[in-house]
Structure 1
């Protein structure tokens, strides 16, 4: 991954979530969950295995003030459901939930679900584990699709409370 190219695209390109939802081939992602109002997909440049992004389908730019209480609750329920599915598949030591992006780039509200694998040294956890500058995982399309399939099965395949 070229961090400078990514940053330039994030700041000047189309909204990556909207482009993905519109079917733009340059913004393909492996889908793990979808309902009428939300979508969840594998991060294209994961720093930890199974990193997933969850977003409302509507182009919303402020995670709290642009969502009413009910819509915010619905979004967080999807984040929880997807997280439980990821945890069932990957059995992480810890799960990080972050809403990232800004008006300067990647403005569409999205939550990052990043599961820390067991055994990662403390010095390589938390923000260190999430920064692309520290490296991204190299996964083949087949590996990503297999993981997405297993996550979909976990998310949809059991009743979550």
Structure 2
């Protein structure tokens, strides 16, 4: 890939229907459902991390426990949460070593109404993004998603996995 991918419009209504009416996207991915395929960057006994299917930033990953839980406050014991956060940190470190990053964002999104399976967003803000397009605007699909090529995403996932093995 030469240069950052262009942004393309995103079907927010279709996405909302899919996450509200469809199966849990993390559980479907773990079952191998081809409609919920993602590029894996990390997997261990308890946790999975993969590139976002509709990224707004290059290298945007999701990190989730394999067990279907919906709240990190009520669904994880403190030691389990800390182990999970160690994976979030490792993935963020590998992503930052792979793509140009000015700031790494990490946050938990989703709700009981859609995308309920606990997952952490790890999103690298590239250098040079104007301030008014940083933070939440950089993450919002309302501003478009990157038109990423599947082969490029697969290669990026491989580079992130390689960095994870180095750490």
Residue among 60, 63, 82 paired with 1:73: 82
Q: What TM-score does the superposition give when structure 1 sets the normalisation length?
A: 0.97
Runs of 4+ in 1 over 6 A off after TM superposition: none
SS of the residue 1:33 aligns to: strand
Determine if the alignment matches structure 1 residue 33 to structure 2 residue 45.
no
Alpha-carbon RMSD across the aligned residues, in angstroms, is 0.6
Give ranges in structure 1 of 5+ residues lacking alignment: none
Distance 2:33 2:140 in 1: 26
Give ranges in structure 2 of 5+ residues lacking alignment: 1-9
Paired residues for 1:114-129 under 5 Å: 114-129=123-138
SS of the residue 1:113 aligns to: strand
Spell out, residue by residue over 1:30-80, the C-alpha distance to the aligned partner (whole angstroms, 9 max, x if none): 000000000000000000110000000000001211100111011100000
Higher relative contact order (Cα pairs below 8 Å, separated by 6+ residues): 2
- 1:24 is displaced (CA, Å) by 0.2
Q: What TM-score does the superposition give when structure 2 sets the normalisation length?
A: 0.93
Residue among 115, 118, 123 paired with 1:109: 118
Residue among 24, 34, 51 paired with 2:60: 51
